[in-house]
Amino acid sequence: MIIAPVEAIAELFGSEGARDYLGEPVTVAAHLLQAGTLAEAAGAPAPLVAAALLHDVGHLRGADPSVAEPSGRDLMAGTDNRHDARGAAWLAQWFTPAVTEPVRLHVAAKRYLCAVEPSYFGRLSEASVYTLSVQDGPMTEAQASEFGALPYAAEAVAVRRWDDRAKDPAAVTRDFGHFRPLLAGLPRA
């Protein structure tokens, strides 16, 4: 049976992995909904709202429990689960690079911001500091220069900033149903 993209994503939001906390005061699902809500409130274009909403889908296990995929728990245990690349690759079956590239680059954006903004590291949550150490730490000057020249680097930095702010247990967010029409209306890959 072929499952529609929005339904496949909805299943991930309802999965066991979406209920994980991963060192933050909110679940993965709440974190993603907050990031999408922040992007929408900022007036971001639809593909960037989708990227913010979906940036951590690589942490989530799919609907098929027989498929052994790394999860966010692996990252918190000290193994880089490459959730950025895995999430972007999974989303690429349905979405264009305007959605998938900011997802793929959002971890690199954290490393980049640590390299180019001296005060950025001090604003990271304790869990983000830990995961940064697992994800190769801040970029070198040369790496930061290369990253800054990439297509979608600016969009990835925007997603990263929403990611950093999307950890508030008291935040009021849209639910997943609110984002269904936006996801369904995006151009397909």
Summarised one tens digit per residue, pLDDT across range 73-91 is 776 677 677 889 989 999 9
Provide the CATH number for the domain around residue 164.
1.10.3210.10
Any bridge partners for residue 157, and if so which?
none
pLDDT tens-digit map of 110-141: 999 999 998 999 999 999 999 999 999 999 99
Q: Is residue 62 part of a domain?
A: yes
Q: Is residue 161 part of a domain?
A: yes
Quick one: average pLDDT of 150-167?
98
Q: Is residue 138 part of a domain?
A: yes
Quick one: average pLDDT of 2-13?
87
**Which residues touch 43 (CB under 8 Å, ≥6 apart)?**
none
pLDDT of the residue at 72:
67
Name the residue with higher pLDDT: 151 or 188.
151
Which amino acid type is present at position 152? Y
Q: Is 54 helix (H, G, I), strand (E, B) or coil?
A: helix
- CB count within 10 Å of CB 121 equals 16
**Is 68's pLDDT higher than 70?**
no
Q: Kindly report whether the global pTM for this prediction surpasses the value 0.85.
A: yes
Structure tokens at 106: 């959002």
**Is 67's pLDDT higher than 70?**
no
User: What total number of domains does the chain contain?
Assistant: 1
- CB count within 10 Å of CB 43 equals 8
Q: Is residue 189 part of a domain?
A: no
Q: Is residue 44 part of a domain?
A: yes
pLDDT of the residue at 111:
98
pLDDT tens-digit map of 22-54: 888 999 999 999 999 999 999 999 999 999 999
Q: Is residue 157 part of a domain?
A: yes
Residue-number span of the structural domain to which 26 is assigned: 5-184
Q: Is residue 155 part of a domain?
A: yes
Secondary structure, 3-state, 4-51: CHHHHHHHHHCCHHHHCCCCCCCCHHHHHHHHHHHHHHCCCCHHHHHH
C-alpha–C-alpha distance, residues 128 and 166, integer Å? 12
pLDDT tens-digit map of 159-176: 999 999 999 999 999 999
Quick one: average pLDDT of 6-33?
90
Q: Is residue 24 part of a domain?
A: yes
